[in-house]
Amino acid sequence: MKNSHEVTYKIHGHDMQFVQVELDPKETVVAEAGAMMMMDDGIELETIFGDGSSQSGGLFGKLVGAGKRLVTGESLFMTSFTNRSNSLKTVSFSAPYPGSIIPLDLHEYGNKIICQKDSFLAAAKGVSVGIEFRKKLSTGLFGGEGFIMQKVEGDGMAFLHAGGSIYQKTLQPGEKVKIDTGCIVGFTGDVNYEIEYVGNVKTALFGGEGLFFATLQGPGTIWVQSLTLARLASRIGQYLPNSSKEEGSILGGLGNLLDGND
């Protein structure tokens, strides 16, 4: 028997997707603050303190959950949406920038997904959103996503958002793939994640790929995005009034040296 609420969903759109979640009476879904796009009459929303997985455990448990979110740079609060009517209702959540939504039944992926801190969108009540510490300091210093990543745990549905198109790959035991650190959306808990030096300073300075990339080793499943928010913001920033154009310059290359942003 699952501990999380069992919700159904439908994803709409192509380049600017949103997810519509169906809630039976008394079912609840939790989401990042500001993610809600629209909802039916009869759904009650409530701001909750902590990671949204449970409101039990007293004040201390809530403080711990809130502290985990604060460390990852997220808001201390999440929003819950509960169907208080006697019939089926829907609530929809949209992503903050162009891309795709990844629906994940955590029960099918070992009840745990590790993801970049900005990718979580929403989940069924009972799913926990916490922090994941990487074992090696080098991963945190040069990983582009920071020393701390998010972990989404539970046995229910969770929805991640990523930029551009999404590529899902299942790694066989021992199989490795090298990825730009900013393009990693998430991976299952059994994937080994390391940071490696490119080995060529000239390539890093003038090739726009940064000094480091990520090596993910199977077994497990990974999700990769084709567009990072940093790249999108960089391109838009070039056309803003009084913006400094660093593209192609050595200073620009140095500024993006560690994170691999173009």
Inside any domain, residue 45: yes
Inside any domain, residue 64: yes
What is residue 52's predicted lDDT score, i.e. its pLDDT?
Answer: 56
The CATH number of the domain holding residue 165 is: 3.60.160.10
Inside any domain, residue 68: yes
pTM of the model: 0.77
Helix and strand element counts for the chain (H, E): 5, 19
Give the model confidence (pLDDT) of 131-162 as tens digits: 876 655 455 555 444 456 888 999 999 999 99
- The DSSP result for 100-128, as a single string, is EEEEEEGGGGTTEEEE-TT-EEEEETT-E
Domain that holds residue 46: 8-255
Inside any domain, residue 54: yes
Task: Among 23-27, 51-55, 104-108, 119-123, name the one with the lowest average pLDDT.
Answer: 51-55
Number of domains in the chain: 1
247: pLDDT strictly greater than 50: no
What is residue 135's predicted lDDT score, i.e. its pLDDT?
Answer: 54
Nearest to 76 by CA among 50, 54, 53: 50
Inside any domain, residue 50: yes
Nearest to 95 by CA among 19, 187, 182, 43: 19
What's phi and psi for 202, nearest 5 deg? -60, -40
| Average pLDDT score over the chain | 79
How are strands ordered across the β-sheet holding 212-217? 176-179, 212-217, 192-197
What is residue 25's predicted lDDT score, i.e. its pLDDT?
Answer: 96
Report the alpha-carbon angle 187-192-196, nearest 5: 105
What's phi and psi for 32, nearest 5 deg? -65, 145
Cβ 132 vs Cβ 149: under 8 Å: yes
- Confidence band, pLDDT 50/70/90 cuts, at residue 24: very high
Inside any domain, residue 3: no
Would you state the structure tokens that stand for residue 211, as one six-digit string?
């000094």
CA 205 to chain centre: 28
Give the model confidence (pLDDT) of 105-136 as tens digits: 999 999 999 998 788 999 999 898 888 766 55
43: pLDDT strictly greater than 70: yes
